[in-house]
């Protein structure tokens, strides 16, 4: 069985490193992108099974927009999208629902919980 | 009425006595007899008399002479006089008596009954006159009281109108008054200012015209209903797009008269644009602050949990420890700066300890501190040789230069030094000393430059360059409390020149 591909999208290098270290136990093939545009470009190439996506990112495309495009773009295998947000407010959750996100993780998050969620989504 | 005072003038005492006896029958009469016309003149000068019975034929001064004289004196001119005489019954006599204004003429021997009857008649007549005069006086008093009262009322109304007028003219809030016929009767200057309307366009016109004019200013994104004037007390928010974006709180109150009938309506407009902006800024600031705090916290929380649950080799675990420590420091710095900023804002410099300091010493200390933190790099000072004394809170100003110097090092290439230059300017008669910090770093686009000093704004959003996004905000706040200001000049790739201007106390 081939390894599932996980794309980690966050503008903060340290956060990407944290997610990578959390999930780096051999089951997954991990990829990183530091902004929305790079994430969309990379997704086309690697066709990820799951995307961990920071919502608040600088640049042209924020996390919600990335999610919306991933869920609509037929050329990409539609991945499972887990939004990483610093807030857990109702308006954020509603926006996530609107763009078709599958689940949320609120910063600061527990790495163990992240593993559980990712495992749950990919099996 | 007091007693009716009758004066009898006759040179013959027996006549006086006889007349007095007759007249005393009327208890309302008070009789006084004088036997000489000359004496009588001085008497009536001092005493009030209601009627005079005067003999005509008298030595020294006769009745005609007497009456002529009293008619000339203002005080006595109107006393009714009745002649008493046995003689002079010719027409010429009566003619003369009438010319003198005597009221009657009695011929001796006196018919007691007739005399008494006549005098009673005069008395009744005088009494009635007296009552009438009293009534007239009372009426006059009342009238003049009424006049005074209405004058004072009028004065009060005018005063009150002036007060109201001043209040409405000075009020920053808009007022529009509408009468019961739904015509506009008043618009205050604040409303004209708010809307750009001119008063004469609406005064005396229908409220609908005003309502339509308001509707033409509405922001169509927020306003569906265009008719603002309702026939009930109400409160709502209106959004204007012209003459500029405004949020306005509008209240309407119906005015009622004393008997409860509708007299008109007041429309009240309060510009709450600024309050709304401040509210939004505060909530934006809070949510951004919370977000910024979560970012380092996420690292600390996550990495420490990993450390507890997994076995890492020594190298990896010490890297993780380093990350946790660094992020804790970030968190601490963020909290410190947040607290500094809110304290400075809230206290507006009240807890600044201002003393005179030599700027040279202060700048050199800052350079040493920052050079220590960025090992191997230097601040090159290019001074005119002149360093002023400035009044400042030394710790806060040191924080300003530490912040700006660290930024310059952080945003410029590793091998580049930072340049510090001094200058002077005069503005509004106040001499300012300028300290420019010049780096050869990444610089900023005009767009980035316009956002500098904004809370949490980072030119490098990737998080590669450490910082909180609050440093420059703090610098600006601190310098402004020192009555100075900060200039930023830059272009992309062209480095950055930050100049702090502080007022000079002395050389």
> What whole-number distance in Å separates Cα of residue B502 and Cα of residue B428?
14
Distance from the first to the final alpha carbon of chain A: 12
A96 vs A113: CA distance, rounded Å: 20
Cβ pair A108:B301 closer than 8 A: yes
CATH class of the domain defined by B283-346: mainly alpha
- The answer to whether residue A86 neighbours chain B at the CB level (below 8 Å) is yes
**CB proximity under 8 Å: B 168-207 to A:** none
Closest C-alpha among B446, B451, B440, B427 to residue B504: B427
Residue from B102, B5, B3 nearest B49 by CA: B5
Q: Of B249-258, B281-290, B365-374, where does mean pLDDT reach its minimum?
A: B281-290
Query: Residue B321: its chain A contacts at CB < 8 A?
Result: none
For residue B458, the model assigns a pLDDT of 65
Residue B278 or residue B248, greater confidence: B248
What is the predicted pLDDT for the residue at B497?
Answer: 87
**Alpha-carbon distances, residue B44 vs A18, B71, B74, B132 (angstroms):** 127, 12, 12, 24
- Across B86-90, B206-210, B327-331, least confident range: B86-90
b/e code B97-121 from CB counts within 10 Å (16+ = b): beebebbbbbeeebeeeebbeebbe
Sequence-distant (6+) residues with CB within 8 A of B394 are B353, B355, B357, B362
> What CATH class has A4-116?
alpha beta
Mean pLDDT of B270-295: 81
Query: So what's the pLDDT on residue B418?
Result: 83
**What rounded mean pLDDT belongs to chain B?**
85
User: Using CA atoms, how far apart are residues B258 and B496, in angstroms rounded to an integer?
Assistant: 72
* C-alpha separations of B404 from A51, B71, B410, B467, B471 in Å: 39, 110, 10, 12, 8
- Tell me if domain B283-346 and domain B352-503 are identical in fold: no
DSSP letter at B451 equals T
Interface test mutation site (partner A, options B289, B292, B297, B302, max chain A beta carbons within 10 A):
B302
CA distance A25 to A3: 12
Choose among A86, A87, A111: nearest Cβ to B302: A111
> Which of B305, B317, B461 should we substitute to test contact with A (largest number of A Cβ atoms within 10 Å)?
B305
- Which pLDDT tens digit goes with each residue over B447-476? 777 777 776 666 665 555 556 677 788 888
Contact A14 B300 (CB under 8 A): no
pLDDT at B227: 74
Q: For position B1, what pLDDT does the model report?
A: 60
What ranges in A1-87 are assigned the alpha helix state H? 13-23, 36-46, 63-72
Is the Cβ pair B463, A110 closer than 8 Å? no
Check pLDDT > 60 for residue B302.
yes
Residues of A in contact with B298 (CB under 8 A): 15, 18, 86, 107-109
**Rounded to 10 degrees, what is the CA torsion of B379, B382, B383, B389?**
-20
Q: Which residues of B367-376 are buried (b: 16+ CB within 10 A; e: fewer)?
A: beebbeebee
**Rg of chain B's alpha carbons, rounded to an integer?**
52
Using the beta-carbon criterion (under 8 Å), do B290 and A86 form an inter-chain contact?
Answer: yes
The interface predicted TM-score of the complex, written ipTM, equals 0.89
Residue contacts between A and B (CB atoms, under 8 Å): 63
Contact B418, B412 (CB under 8 A): yes
Domain ranges of chain A: 4-116
Interface check for B302 against chain A (CB to CB < 8 A): the answer is yes
Quick one: CATH architecture of B4-133?
3-Layer(aba) Sandwich (3.40)
Q: Do B302 and A18 touch (CB under 8 A)?
A: yes
Partner residue opposite A11 with nearest CB, options B298, B301, B463: B463
Terminal Cα-to-Cα distance of chain B (whole angstroms)? 98
**Would an 8 Å CB–CB cutoff place A11 in contact with chain B?**
yes
List CB contacts (< 8 A) between A34 and chain B: 462
Structure-model confidence comparison of residues B368 and B303, the more confident one:
B303
Q: Where are the alpha helices (DSSP H) in B310-358?
A: 314-347
pLDDT over 70 at B85, yes or no: yes
Quote the CA–CA distance of B288 and B285 in Å, as a whole number: 5
SS3 of A85, please? strand
Identify the pLDDT of residue B465: 57
What CA–CA distance (Å, rounded) separates A99 from A60?
17
Min distance A123 CA to chain B CA atoms (Å): 23
The residue ranges of every structural domain in chain B are 4-133, 171-271, 283-346, 352-503
Omega before B237 cis (within 30°)?
no
Whole-angstrom distance, CA of residue B462 vs CA of residue B443: 16
Q: Phi/psi of residue B461, each to 5°?
A: -85, 0
Taking alpha carbons only, the member of B484, B472, B498, B243 closest to residue B337 is: B472
Closest Cβ–Cβ partner in A15, A87, A112 for B298: A15
Q: CB A113: neighbour CB atoms within 10 A? A: 12
Q: Averaged over A65-80, what is the pLDDT?
A: 85
A110 contacts chain B (CB < 8 A): yes
Of B169-173, B306-310, B390-394, the range with the lowest mean pLDDT is: B390-394
pLDDT of residue B7 exceeding 90, the answer is yes
- Beta-strand ranges (E) seen in B228-336 are 234-240, 246-256, 262-271
Q: Which of B28-32, B86-90, B166-170, B237-241 has the lowest mean pLDDT?
A: B86-90
Cβ atoms within 10 Å of B298's Cβ, excluding its own = 24
Mind listing the pLDDT tens digit for each residue in B469-478? 777 888 888 8
Query: Which residue is associated with the tokens 């440093």?
Result: B471
Determine the CATH number of domain B352-503.
Answer: 3.30.565.10
Task: State the fold for domain B171-271.
Answer: Beta-Lactamase (3.30.450)
Sign for the CA dihedral angle at A59, A60, A64, A70 comes to: negative
Beta bridge partners of A70: none
Any bridge partners for residue B250, and if so which?
Answer: B236, B269
Compare CB distances from B297 to A59, A108, A112 and report the shortest one's residue. Answer: A108
Pick the range with the lowest mean pLDDT from A45-59, B237-251, B274-288: B274-288
A108 touches chain B (CB under 8 A): yes
Note the pLDDT of residue B435.
85
For residue B165, is pLDDT > 80? yes
Average pLDDT over residues B90-102: 79
Q: Is the minimum CB–CB distance between B417 and chain A shorter than 8 Å?
A: no
> Is pLDDT of A1 > 80?
no
Of B298, B306, B320, the CB nearest to A108: B298
Residue B296 exposed, middle or buried by CB count within 10 Å (0-12, 13-18, 19+) = buried
* C-alpha torsion angle, residues B56, B62, B65, B70 (rounded to 10): -70
Q: Which of B193, B212, B194 is nearest to B202 (CA)?
A: B212
State which of B45-59, B408-422, B490-504 shows the largest mean pLDDT: B45-59
Supply the pTM of this predicted model: 0.52
Say whether A2 sits in a helix, a strand or coil.
coil
> How far apart are the C-alpha atoms of B64 and B213, rounded to whole Å?
89
Q: Do A34 and B303 touch (CB under 8 A)?
A: no
Mutation target for B interface from A108, A110, A117: give the one with most B CBs within 10 A: A108
pLDDT tens-digit series, residues B128-152: 888 898 999 999 999 998 888 999 9
């Amino acid at each position: 069985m081939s390894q599932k591909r996980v794309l980690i999208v966050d503008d903060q290098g340290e956060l990407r490193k944290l997610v990578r270290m959390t999930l780096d136990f051999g089951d997954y093939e991990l990829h990183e992108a530091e902004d929305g545009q790079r994430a969309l470009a990379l997704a086309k190439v690697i066709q990820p099974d799951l995307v961990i996506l920071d919502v608040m990112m600088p640049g042209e495309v924020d996390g919600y927009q990335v999610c919306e495009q991933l869920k609509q773009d037929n050329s990409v295998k539609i991945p499972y999208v887990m939004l990483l947000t610093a807030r857990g407010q109702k308006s954020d959750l509603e926006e996530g629902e609107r763009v078709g996100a599958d689940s949320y993780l609120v910063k600061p998050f527990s790495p163990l919980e992240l593993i559980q969620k990712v495992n749950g989504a990919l099996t | 009425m007091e007693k009716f005072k009758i004066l009898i003038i006759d040179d013959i005492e027996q006549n006086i006595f006889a007349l007095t006896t007759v007249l005393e029958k009327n208890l309302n009469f008070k009789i006084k007899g004088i036997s000489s016309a000359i004496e009588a003149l001085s008497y009536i000068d001092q005493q009030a008399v209601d009627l005079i019975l005067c003999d005509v034929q008298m030595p020294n001064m006769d009745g005609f002479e007497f009456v002529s004289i009293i008619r000339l004196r203002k005080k006595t001119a109107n006393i009714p006089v009745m002649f008493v005489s046995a003689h002079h019954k010719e027409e010429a006599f009566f003619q003369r008596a009438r010319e003198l204004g005597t009221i009657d003429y009695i011929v001796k021997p006196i018919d007691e009954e007739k005399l008494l009857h006549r005098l009673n008649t005069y008395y009744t007549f005088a009494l009635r006159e007296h009552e009438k005069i009293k009534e007239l006086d009372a009426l006059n008093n009342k009238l003049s009281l009424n006049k005074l009262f209405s004058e004072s009322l009028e004065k009060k109304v005018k005063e009150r109108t002036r007060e109201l007028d001043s209040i409405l003219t000075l009020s920053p809030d808009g007022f529009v008054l509408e009468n019961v016929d739904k015509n506009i009767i008043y618009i205050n200057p604040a409303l004209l200012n708010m809307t750009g309307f001119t008063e004469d366009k609406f005064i005396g016109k229908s409220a609908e015209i005003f309502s339509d004019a308001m509707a033409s200013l509405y922001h169509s994104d927020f306003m569906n209903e265009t008719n603002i004037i309702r026939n009930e007390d109400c409160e709502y928010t209106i959004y204007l797009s012209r003459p500029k974006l405004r949020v306005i709180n509008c209240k309407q109150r119906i005015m009622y008269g004393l008997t409860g009938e509708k007299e008109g309506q007041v429309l009240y407009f309060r510009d709450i644009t600024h309050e709304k902006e401040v509210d939004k800024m505060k909530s934006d600031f809070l949510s951004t602050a919370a977000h910024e705090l979560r970012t380092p916290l996420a690292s600390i929380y996550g990495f420490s949990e990993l450390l507890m649950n997994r076995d890492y080799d020594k190298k990896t675990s010490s890297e993780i420890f380093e990350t946790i420590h660094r992020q804790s420091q970030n968190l601490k710095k963020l909290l410190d700066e947040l607290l500094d900023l809110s304290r400075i804002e809230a206290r507006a410099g009240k807890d600044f300890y201002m003393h005179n300091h030599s700027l040279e010493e202060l700048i050199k200390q800052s350079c040493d501190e920052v050079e220590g933190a960025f090992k191997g790099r230097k601040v090159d000072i290019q001074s005119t040789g002149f360093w002023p004394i400035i009044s400042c809170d030394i710790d806060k100003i040191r924080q300003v230069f530490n912040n700006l110097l660290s930024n310059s090092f952080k945003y410029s290439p590793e091998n580049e030094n930072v340049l510090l230059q001094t200058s002077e300017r005069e503005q509004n008669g106040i001499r300012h000393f300028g300290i420019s910090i010049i780096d050869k770093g990444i610089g900023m686009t005009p767009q980035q430059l316009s956002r500098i000093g904004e809370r949490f704004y980072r030119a490098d959003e990737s998080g590669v360059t450490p910082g909180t996004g609050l440093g420059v905000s703090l610098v600006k706040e601190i310098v402004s409390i020192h009555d100075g200001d900060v200039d930023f000049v830059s272009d992309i790739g062209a480095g950055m020149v930050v100049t702090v201007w502080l007022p000079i106390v002395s050389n």
